[in-house]
């Protein structure tokens, strides 16, 4: 044998038993099912309730606990103290709804504490500055009132650009972009 030659050892390919082959096929099949299920879940636009996800709703009570998980066994993360605040349902689990508020915080609320009544929060990200409420869905129409930031209004309809709202027995139109509680260009 030539001593200048380097010798390499190549491992032999192991042979799989019938059990190991079946197990590998089963794992691959389960992985494929999980990936297909995940892709389906991402395209599924309704929750177990049959209602669309995400969607806006409002709080039914002046005191609503938000929990860190979907049961009364989970700790309370915070408590809402104003009836009618709009929140966005982003997930459903049994009788619990995972919500997101205007600040982007999320948690779980029992479904009976939520209402399908549509409300809006006027420019929640602004500290100051009044928002115009008009007689019609146009800035050229008569001014009805000025609204302060974070005022809760009842939303009657939206045309994609403007929403007809009511607050303290005053009805008028506000630009849709000035409300949290409706989606951009949403119509109803």
pLDDT of residue 28: 53
Burial 9-36 (b: 16+ CB within 10 A, else e): eeeeeeeeeeeeeeeeeeeeeeeeeeee
What is this structure's pTM? 0.75
Query: What pLDDT is recorded for position 52?
Result: 96
Domains and CATH numbers, the chain: 55-117 (2.30.30.40), 121-180 (2.30.30.40)
- Tell me, what's the pLDDT at 126? 82
Mean pLDDT, 10 residues at a time, the chain of 188 residues: 39 52 52 44 73 97 98 98 98 98 98 98 88 97 96 98 97 97 97
Strand ordering across the sheet containing 86-93: 76-80, 64-67, 106-110, 96-100, 86-93, 55-59, 114-115
Which pLDDT score is estimated for 179?
A: 97
pLDDT of the residue at 15: 52
Peptide bond into 54 cis (omega under 30): yes
């Amino acid at each position: 044998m030539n001593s200048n030659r380097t010798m390499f050892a190549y491992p032999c390919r192991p042979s799989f038993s019938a059990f190991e082959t079946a197990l590998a096929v089963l794992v691959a099949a389960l992985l494929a099912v999980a990936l297909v299920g995940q892709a389906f879940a991402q395209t599924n636009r309704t929750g177990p309730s049959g209602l669309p996800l995400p969607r806006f709703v409002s709080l039914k009570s002046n005191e609503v606990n938000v929990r860190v998980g979907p049961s009364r066994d989970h700790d309370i993360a915070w408590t809402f103290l104003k009836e009618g605040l709009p929140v966005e349902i982003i997930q459903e689990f049994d009788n619990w709804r995972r919500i997101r508020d205007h600040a982007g915080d999320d948690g779980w609320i029992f479904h009976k504490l939520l209402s399908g009544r549509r409300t809006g929060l006027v420019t929640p990200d602004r500290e100051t500055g009044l928002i115009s409420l008009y007689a019609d869905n146009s800035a050229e129409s008569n001014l009805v009132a000025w609204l302060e930031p974070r005022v809760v209004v009842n939303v009657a309809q939206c045309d994609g650009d403007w929403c007809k709202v009511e607050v303290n027995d005053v009805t008028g139109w506000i630009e849709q972009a000035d409300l949290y509680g409706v989606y951009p260009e949403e119509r109803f």
